[in-house]
Amino acid sequence: MNRQYKAHDDLNRTLTRVVGLVGIDPKERPISPHTFRRTINTLRKKMECPKEDRHILLNHKGGDVNLDNYVVLNTEEYVELYDKWNPYKKFRMSILE
């Protein structure tokens, strides 16, 4: 098994254990990394984040030659885009206060 798949399997096993610890039956309601990607993408859509930005932030490949090949962001630009469309920004601030 290559390292990438092993890490993915380890993460899925850990999520399954954690979900069970908080009282959710992982067989009834499976949780995976994809669950978090889907949730954050849905929240960004509700914030009216443009589809292009959601595409970039999820690092999706395929479907748009322009985005996939000609839009290149440096790390600072990517972080700015992430911060702009971070649906948890207000939530984090309220925890810190």
**Per-residue pLDDT at 48 exceeds 70:** yes
Residue 58 falls within a domain, yes or no?
Answer: yes
The boundaries of the domain holding residue 76 are 50-97
- pLDDT tens-digit series, residues 51-89: 888 988 888 776 666 666 677 788 898 899 999 999 888
pLDDT tens string 11-38: 888 888 888 888 888 788 888 888 888 9
Query: Is residue 92's pLDDT more than 60?
Result: no
Q: Is 1 inside a domain boundary?
A: no
Q: How confident is the model at residue 49 (pLDDT cuts 50, 70, 90)?
A: very high
Residue 71 lies in a domain: yes
pLDDT for 3 beyond 90: no
Does 27 reside within a domain? Answer: no
The answer to whether residues 31 and 19 touch, using CB atoms and an 8 Å cutoff, is: yes
Number of structural domains, the chain?
A: 1
Helix, strand, or coil (residue 6): helix
43, 57 in Cβ contact below 8 A?
no
